[in-house]
Amino acid sequence: MSIAGIVGLSDLPRICPLISRRVQTSFEEDETRVVAVGKVKFGAERPVVIAGPCAVESEEQTLQVARAVKAAGAEMLRGGAFKPRTSPHDFQGLGVEGLRILCEARRETGLPVVTEVMDPRLVETVAEYADMLQIGSRNMQNYPLLIEAGKSGKPVLLKRGMAASVCEWLGAAEYLAKEGNLNIVLCERGIKAYPSGEYSRNVLDLSVIPAVKAETFLPVIVDPSHATGVSSMVESASCASIAAGSHGLIIEVACDHPGAAKPRCDAAQAINPETLRTIVQFIDSRADIGTMRRAYAV
Ligand code: PEP
Ligand code: MN
């Protein structure tokens, strides 16, 4: 017996034919569709590290973090100009001024920029400034937003909803693909499950990485910052994600030199540039990881 509205992995060829490995048979068994954002390539051999502040708070803060993450070896800059906050009384981001600051940081460092868009009416504006659009966990099933982001043709970082199944997540990606935009990078960012909230913010679902890779040719990365919510856990979550086959990481970083201001959002999960460097070095030391992945896939 099947329950109306309940779907499983066997329904994926119907839910998301455009991104399903089982339908799109031109891809080899372990082949990933490379998504390029400027010179950065997701799904190629080397995992991509995106790093930056949770939110763009000021030009000084953003430029300092951008320089530091570049020096630590990150290939792309993150930073929210439009922030989805639990309370409407919390800092909501600098909006278009934040986008302008991100462009300034890109001009100085050369790092391409990914930033969140929450409102379908703002897709065009955000796309004018950003190199990649981020659709956040809270908006994974905002279908009008997905359609606009698909139409923009910009590469999209599609976060997994905090309680989304693989079917729901890949169904959301299909909305982008249906608009002709296959430049999609999926991002696991932790799910709400027992014991989230006890010792970590969410539960990092590492097994979803091979599960998603079996179903789609799209690259998949991990956000260890929102997955754990605790800065001291970010390094181990990052290394574990890479070992599990993640095509990259998106990490929140704050500068911690004397006089540096405490971030206004997500301060507890921000790592310092030095820890970011350690994570990049781990990736470099595992440069054979792509080959290993193939060797295990028998
Ligand atoms: C973020 O990356 O800034 C963010 C809000 O993440 P998420 O949508 O995963 O909560
Ligand atoms: Mn954050």
Q: Check residue 1 and give its pLDDT.
A: 60
Give the pLDDT of residue 297. 45
The pLDDT tens digits for 239-284 are 999 999 999 999 999 999 998 989 999 999 999 999 999 999 999 9
Do residues 135 and 154 lie in contact, with contact meaning Cβ atoms separated by under 8 Å? no
Q: Which amino acid is at 20?
A: S
Tell me, what's the pLDDT at 298?
A: 35
pLDDT of residue 81: 98
Provide the residue type at 57 as one letter. E
pLDDT the model gives residue 42:
98
Segments of the chain with pLDDT less than 50: 294-298
Ligand 1 neighbours by CB, cut-off 6 Å? 54, 80, 84, 116, 136-138, 159, 189, 223, 226
Q: Residues near 125 by Cβ (< 8 Å), separated by ≥ 6?
A: 96, 99
pLDDT of residue 13: 97
Atom 4 in ligand 1: residue holding the nearest Cα: 136
Q: Whose CA is nearest to atom 3 of ligand 1?
A: 54
pLDDT at 76: 98
Residue type, 280: V
Query: Which ligand is in closest contact with the Cα of 221?
Result: 1
Give 13 Cα–ligand 1 centroid separation in angstroms: 29
pLDDT reported for residue 287: 65
* Cβ pair 94, 126 in contact under 8 A: no
Q: What is the DSSP string of the chain?
A: ---TT---GGGHHHH-TTTBTTT-TTS-TT----EEETTEEETSSSPEEEEE-SB---HHHHHHHHHHHHHTT-SEEE-BSS---SSTTS----THHHHHHHHHHHHHH---EEEE---GGGHHHHHHH-SEEEE-GGGTT-HHHHHHHHHH---EEEEPPTT--HHHHHHHHHHHHHTT---EEEEE--B--TTBTTTBSSB--TTHHHHHHHHBSS-EEE-HHHHH--HHHHHHHHHHHHHTT-SEEEEEB---STTPPPPSS-GGGPBPHHHHHHHHHHHHHTTTHHHHHHHH--
294 Cα–ligand 1 center, Å: 31
Distance 248 CA to ligand 1 centre (A): 16
Q: Are 105 and 63 in contact (CB under 8 A)?
A: yes
Measured in angstroms, how far is the CA atom of residue 291 from the centroid of ligand 1? 31
How close is the Cα of 171 to the center of ligand 2, in Å? 25
Instruction: Tell me what pLDDT residue 195 has.
Output: 83
**Which atom of ligand 1 is the closest one to the Cα of 187?**
9
Beta carbons within 8 Å of 4's beta carbon, 6+ residues apart: none
